[in-house]
């Protein structure tokens, strides 16, 4: 008798083992498998709102684009709350935090599982390069930045977006307090004017392929074309400027003459009293004394369109 039972048990284990992987294969991705263990409760948002409608931290979603029932692409136009939280029939009947409720609860779902819920609707557009991006690789979830149950997501508002980014990016926060800075703290420029936090084909999550193309979106007059170009300006603006903030005026990485003398010799210039002579140590001292304001004369430092602008002085 016992032997027969054991055989039967063994058989069921074997057959289960045969069936389970097959079942798992039919689910969309392993990441969302947990959410699909439960059946959907159905009935859309009203099913959930029976219990959750009065909660201050839940109901503001009703004022967002996600709750537009007339939009067939929106969660409320589809399965309602379950479009994000996953099929939750067991949760509804048990009235407890059943694990299948994605995003919150005792077994708070994995980052991959949560992101999959959002990406089913938001894969394209700005998220085209999400996979493999710096934030994705560092295990960030969409809702590390986005707050869903509020009438206006703070990360989408110019005045409040930087604070969200600053929670992790302390260096940029420090830069924003420096004497010269892009008016990010003032709410005129935002991180997402220059960066796409969802991923980018170029470096540093920049919205354009090159640094200069990013800068040109606002500083168009620097694009040219110019008759007389200053080579480092064509190469990269951040050779001389630090994008987030600097203790030097005009976001400069250094003040002149030191900035200019990184590349230009400090001897033989007409602006120095010892022009043309070669007394190395002394000349260096004099150049700094007499010609510290290189841009006082070389005013067209980004390039010139004057026929006589070869030396960037006009």
Q: Which of residues 38-57 bind ligand HEC (CB under 6 A)?
A: 41, 45, 47-52, 57
Pick between residue 27 and residue 206 the one whose CB is nearest to ligand HEC. 206
By CB under 6 A, tell whether 291 contacts ligand HEC. Answer: yes
- CB neighbours of residue 247 within 10 Å: 11
How many residues in the chain?
Answer: 314
State how far the Cα of 44 lies from the Cα of 75, in Å rounded to an integer. 9
- Does the footprint of ligand HEC cover residue 200 (CB under 6 A)? no
Residue closest to 67 by CA, chosen among 55, 79, 78, 75: 75
254 binds ligand HEC (CB under 6 A): no
Residue 73 as a binder of ligand HEC (CB under 6 A): the answer is: yes
74 binds ligand HEC (CB under 6 A): yes
Select from 113, 211, 248, 283 the one that contacts ligand HEC (CB under 6 A): 211
Q: Which stretch binds ligand HEC (CB under 6 A): 13-21, 31-39, 217-225, 277-285?
A: 217-225
Judged by beta carbon, residue 27 or residue 169, the one nearer ligand HEC is: 169
Residue 276, SS3? coil
Between residues 20 and 108, which has the closer beta carbon with respect to ligand HEC? 108
Q: Is 251 in the site for ligand HEC (CB under 6 A)?
A: yes
Q: How far apart are CA 159 and CA 269, in angstroms?
A: 48
DSSP assignment string, 213-236: HHHHTT-GGGS---SB--HHHHH-
Interacting positions 8-37 with ligand HEC (CB under 6 A): none
Minimum CB–partner distance for residue 149 and ligand HEC (Å)? 5
Does residue number 149 form part of the binding site for ligand HEC (CB under 6 A)?
Answer: yes
Whether the upstream peptide bond of residue 17 has omega within 30° of 0, thus cis, is: no
Does residue 302 touch ligand HEC according to CB under 6 A? yes
User: Contact 236/211 with Cβ under 8 angstroms?
Assistant: yes
Q: Of 259-288, which residues contact ligand HEC (CB under 6 A)?
A: 259-264, 268-271, 287
Are 243 and 194 in contact by the 8 Å Cβ rule? The answer is: yes
Number of residues that bind ligand HEC (CB under 6 A): 132
Instruction: Kindly tell me which of 27 and 158 has the beta carbon lying closer to ligand HEC.
Output: 158
Stretch that binds ligand HEC, among 1-9, 18-26, 191-199, 277-285 (CB under 6 A): 191-199
- The enclosing H or E element of 100 equals none
Does residue 176 contact residue 185 with C-beta atoms inside 8 Å?
yes
């Amino acid at each position: 008798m016992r032997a027969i039972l054991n055989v039967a048990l063994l058989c069921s284990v074997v057959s289960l083992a045969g069936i389970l992987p097959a079942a798992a294969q039919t689910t969309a991705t392993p990441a969302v498998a947990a959410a699909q263990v439960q059946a959907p409760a159905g009935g859309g948002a009203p099913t959930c709102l029976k219990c959750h409608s009065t909660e201050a931290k839940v109901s503001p979603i009703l004022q967002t684009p996600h709750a537009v029932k007339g939009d067939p692409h929106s969660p409320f136009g589809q399965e309602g709350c379950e479009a994000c939280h996953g099929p939750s029939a067991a949760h509804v009947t048990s009235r407890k935090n059943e694990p299948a409720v994605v995003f919150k609860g005792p077994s708070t779902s994995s980052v991959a599982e949560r992101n999959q819920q959002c990406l089913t609707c938001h894969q394209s557009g700005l998220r085209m390069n999400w996979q493999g991006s710096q934030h994705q690789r560092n295990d960030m979830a969409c809702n590390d930045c986005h707050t869903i149950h509020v009438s206006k997501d703070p990360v989408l508002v110019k005045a409040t977006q930087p604070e969200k980014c600053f929670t992790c990016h302390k260096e940029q926060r420090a830069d924003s307090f420096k004497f010269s800075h892009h008016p990010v703290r003032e709410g005129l420029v935002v991180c997402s004017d220059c960066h796409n936090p969802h991923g980018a084909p170029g470096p540093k999550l920049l919205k354009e392929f090159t640094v200069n193309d990013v800068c040109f979106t606002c500083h168009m007059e620097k694009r040219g074309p110019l008759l007389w170009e200053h080579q480092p300006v064509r190469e990269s603006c951040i050779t001389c400027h630090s994008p987030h903030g600097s203790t030097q005026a005009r976001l400069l990485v250094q003040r002149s003459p030191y900035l200019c003398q990184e590349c230009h010799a400090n001897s033989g210039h007409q602006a120095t009293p010892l022009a043309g002579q070669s007394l190395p140590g002394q000349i260096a001292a004099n150049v700094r004394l007499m010609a510290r304001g290189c841009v006082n004369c070389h005013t067209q430092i980004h390039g010139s369109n004057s026929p006589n602008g070869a030396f960037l002085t006009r």
